A and B are shown apart, each in its own frame.
Chain A
Amino acid sequence: MNVSLLTILSAYLAAAILIGVAPTRFRRSTIATAAAVMVGTLVWVLDQAGSVVNGDVHIETLRWIPSLSVAFELRIDALAITFISLISGVGLGIVAFSGAYMRTKPRFNRFLSLIVMFAGAMIGLSATDNVFGLFVFWELTTITSYLLVGFDDEKAGSRSAALQAVLTTGLGGLALLGGLVLLAQAAGTASLAGIVASPPTGIVATVGLSLALVGAFTKSAQAPFHFWLPGAMAAPTPASAYLHSATMVKAGILLLLRLAPGFNTASIWTPVVVSVGLATMVIGAWRALRQTDLKLLLAYGTVSQLGFMTALVGFGSPAMLHAALAVLISHALFKSALFLTVGAIDSTAGTRDIRKLSGVGLQHPLLALTGALAAASMAGIAPLLGFVTKEAAFAALIDAQKWAPLAIIAASSAATAAYSLKFWWGAFATKPQSPEHAGGDPAPLRTIRTLIAAPLILASAGVVLGLAPGIVDRLVYAFAPGAKLVLWPGWKAALAVSATVVVLGVIMHIKRESIDRAQQRFVGGRLSRISADEAYQWTIVALNRVADRITGVVQHGSLPLYLAVILTAVIAAPMVAFGFAGGVPTLPTGPFSLPEAGMALLVVAPALAALRVSSRMVAVLLLGAVGYAMAGIFVLYGAPDLALTLLLVETVVIAIFAFVLSRLPRHFEIMVWRIRSAVRAAVAVGVGGFVAAAALLASGQRNPGPSPSAAYRDLAPAAGGKNIVNVILTDFRALDTLGEITVIATAAIGVAALISGFRTPVEEAE
Chain B
Amino acid sequence: MSPVLAITAGALFAAGTYLIMQRLLTRIVIGLGLIGHGANLLLLGSGGPPGAAPFTDQAGQAMSDPLPQALVLTAIVITFGTTAFLMALAYRSHALTLSDAVEDDQEDRRISEANRRSAA
Contacts and interface: CB of A to CB of B under 8 A. Distances in A.
Interface of A: 548-549, 551-553, 555-560, 563-564, 567, 587-588, 590-593, 596-597, 600, 603-604, 607-608, 610-611, 616, 619-620, 622-623, 626-627, 630, 633-634, 636-642, 645-646, 649, 652-653, 656-657, 660-661, 663-664, 668-669, 671, 673, 675, 680-681, 683-685, 687-693, 695-696, 698-699, 702, 707-709, 712-713, 716-717, 721-725, 728-729, 733, 736-737, 740, 743-744, 746-748, 750-751, 754-755, 758, 760-761
Given A549-B115, A607-B11, A638-B64, A713 B56 contact: yes
B67 A712 contact: yes
A751 B8 CA distance: 32
Contact of A689 (B10, B44, B96): B10
B44 A558 contact: no
A681 B18 contact: yes
A619 B54 contact: no
Nearest to A630: B37
Interface string B72-93: 1110111111111101111110
Given A590-B1, A640-B53, 6 more contacts: A634-B72, A639-B69, A653-B33, A663-B94, A695-B9, A746-B81
A678 B84 CA distance: 30
Nearest to A761: B96
A675 B101 contact: no
A675 B104 CA distance: 13
Given A611-B15, A660-B90, A709-B66, A645 B76 contact: yes
B10 A688 contact: yes
Contact of B54 (A683, A723, A758): A723
Contact of B112 (A552, A675, A709): A552
10 contacts: A564-B21, A567-B17, A596-B4, A604-B11, A607-B15, A653-B84, A680-B22, A689-B14, A708-B67, A740-B77
A610 B69 contact: no
B53 A638 contact: yes
B77 A744 contact: yes
A600 to B, nearest CB: 4
Interface string B52-73: 1111110000011111011011
Given A557-B108, A691-B38, A699-B45, A637 B64 contact: yes
Interface string B24-64: 10110010011001101110111111111111110000011
B91 A747 contact: no
Q: Which of A608, A638, A683, A740 has the most chain B CB within a 10 Å cutoff? A: A638
A761 B30 CA distance: 28
A690 B14 CA distance: 9
A630 B72 CA distance: 12
Contacts of B104: 556-559
A461 B63 CA distance: 91
Contacts of A564: 21
What is the interface of chain A mostly: helix, strand, loop, or mixed? helix
Contact of B10 (A619, A652, A691, A712): A691
Nearest to B66: A724
A636 B47 CA distance: 13
Nearest to A717: B56
Contact of B50 (A611, A616, A638): A638
A664 B44 contact: no
A555 B51 contact: no
A439 to B, nearest CB: 47
B92 A754 contact: yes
Contact of A552 (B41, B56, B77, B111): B111
A685 B14 CA distance: 5
B2 A590 contact: yes
Nearest to A752: B88
B10 A692 contact: yes
Given A696-B3, A728-B67, A590 B21 contact: no
A637 B66 CA distance: 11
Contacts of A698: 46
Q: Which of B24, B51, B56 has the most chain A CB within a 10 Å cutoff? A: B56
A69 B46 CA distance: 43
A638 B64 CA distance: 6
Q: Which of B12, B83, B104, B108 has the most chain A CB within a 10 Å cutoff? A: B12
A672 B28 CA distance: 16
Contacts of B14: 684-685, 687-689
A691 B85 contact: no
B90 to A, nearest CB: 6
A680 B23 CA distance: 13
Q: Which of A671, A690, A698, A709 has the most chain B CB within a 10 Å cutoff? A: A709
A664 B34 contact: no
Contacts of A626: 12, 33-34, 37
Interface in B96-113: 96, 99-102, 104-109, 111-112
Contacts of B44: 633-634, 637, 639, 642
A613 B45 CA distance: 30
B90 A645 contact: no
B18 A684 contact: yes
Contacts of B88: 660, 750-751, 754-755
B111 A590 contact: no
B51 A669 contact: no
B81 A747 contact: yes
A755 B91 contact: yes
Contact of A664 (B63, B100, B106): B100
B50 A755 contact: no
Given A652-B80, A724-B56, A744-B77, A713 B95 contact: no
A684 B15 contact: yes
A664 B108 CA distance: 28
Given A633-B41, A687-B17, A692-B9, A729 B108 contact: no
A303 B4 CA distance: 77
B70 A728 contact: yes
B26 A696 contact: no
B84 to A, nearest CB: 5
Contact of B85 (A556, A608, A751): A751
Nearest to B91: A660
* 5 pairs of A and B residues whose beta carbons are closest in the complex: A688-B14, A692-B10, A557-B108, A638-B64, A552-B115
Nearest to A689: B10
Nearest to A726: B70
Nearest to A668: B24
A649 B96 CA distance: 28
Nearest to A549: B115
Contacts of B79: 649
